Amino acid sequence: MKALRFLITAGPTREFIDPIRFISNRSSGKMGYALAEAARAVSPNVVLVSGPTALTPPKGVTLVNVVTAQEMADAVLTRFAESDVVIMAAAVCDFRPKMSAGSKIKKQTFGGALELVATIDILAELGKRKDSQLLVGFAAETDDLERNATKKLKSKGLDLIVANEASAFEAETNRVTLFDAAGQKEQLREMPKRDVAAAIVERVLKLRR
């Protein structure tokens, strides 16, 4: 098989309130970086688009650093057409402040309300643009894991979705369930994220075949 071209996202995004403060989430990036390492073991063509993390990227992986959801969208959308497998493991912020102040907001002048607007839905946009690419998404949920994950799988045109509890954020291990577009379900035991990543990449290779 020709070496697949992987595009993987990892980490959180940050949406700025002012130059000092921002909205973000608990994503450490560990799952996405583990996926990049697992992909690099089977292909020399791996691009990792990463939000802010404290992690060192795997050797041989092309790293693209981004901060905001829009920056991540730009980086992914410009590389999507030349990719074979896209794994969206990043925890992209769903909302951003409607207005970002140009200087630090003083406590005494803050009105007590922060108006939010939706960020770009990168995964949905990829689902619309998908041609021959295999598109993998993630669903981190606090309840109704299977229902929410399968709904996301269908609504966003994914080939595979990796579902896990939100408690996996910042952890060294993960317990995931894989759902594919053909209706197959595979529940993996709790494992180190490196092993989970290897299992996901193995599943991707099977789907590509």
Residue positions annotated with a catalytic role: 25
Q: DSSP string spanning 2-67?
A: PPPEEEEEESB--EESSSS-EE-----SHHHHHHHHHHHTT-SEEEEEE-S-SPPPPTTPEEEE--
End-to-end CA distance of the chain: 9
Give, in order, the Cα–Cα distances in Å from 162 to each of 12, 22, 74. 17, 28, 23
* SS (HEC) of 86-142: EEECCECCCEEECCCCCCCCCHHHCCCCCCEEECCCHHHHHHHHCCCCEEEEEEEEC
Quote the CA–CA distance of 179 and 149 in Å, as a whole number. 8
Contacts of 131 (CB under 8 A, 6+ apart): 81
Residue type, 134: L
For residue 74, give the 3-state DSSP assignment.
helix
